[in-house]
Amino acid sequence: MYAIVEIAGQQFKVEKGRHIFTHRLEGDANAELVFDKVLLVDNEGAIKVGVPTVDGASVKGTILEHLKGDKVIVFKKKRRKTYQKSNGHRQSLTKVMINDIVG
């Protein structure tokens, strides 16, 4: 059984017992979350597609930890103009364990 759910503006394919990395979510570690924007549910071949969401479907999860992603380096250069600029970014992420899919 899996579901397509929208979390923090992004769509994720989730299954029970797996973990996902999302953009930073509110809440402390070990906090319970319920995601209501379920777009599709597949229960061993019985597919329910929402218009835009599936009625009565939800995904329950637990926040495992808050962490930062890998560093991405942005380097800009214009040749023969003595212009160079370097910048780095690390995205704040939340690791979420999927506990149950209802629907």
Domain locations in the chain?
Answer: 2-66+95-102
pTM: 0.83
Q: What is the largest CA-CA distance in the chain?
A: 62
**3-state helix/strand/coil string of the chain:** CEEEEEECCEEEEEECCCEEEEECCCCCCCCEEEECCEEEEEECCEEEECCCCCCCCEEEEEEEEEEECCCEEEEEEECCCCEEEEEEECCEEEEEEEEEEEC
Please write the tens of the pLDDT for every residue from 33-74.
999 999 999 998 899 999 999 999 999 999 999 999 999 999
Query: Phi/psi zone of residue 66: left (φ > 0), alpha (ψ -120 to 50 degrees), beta?
Result: beta
Summarised one tens digit per residue, pLDDT across range 80-95 is 999 999 999 999 999 9
Burial label for 80, CB within 10 Å (0-12, 13-18, 19+), is exposed
First CA to last CA distance, the chain: 10
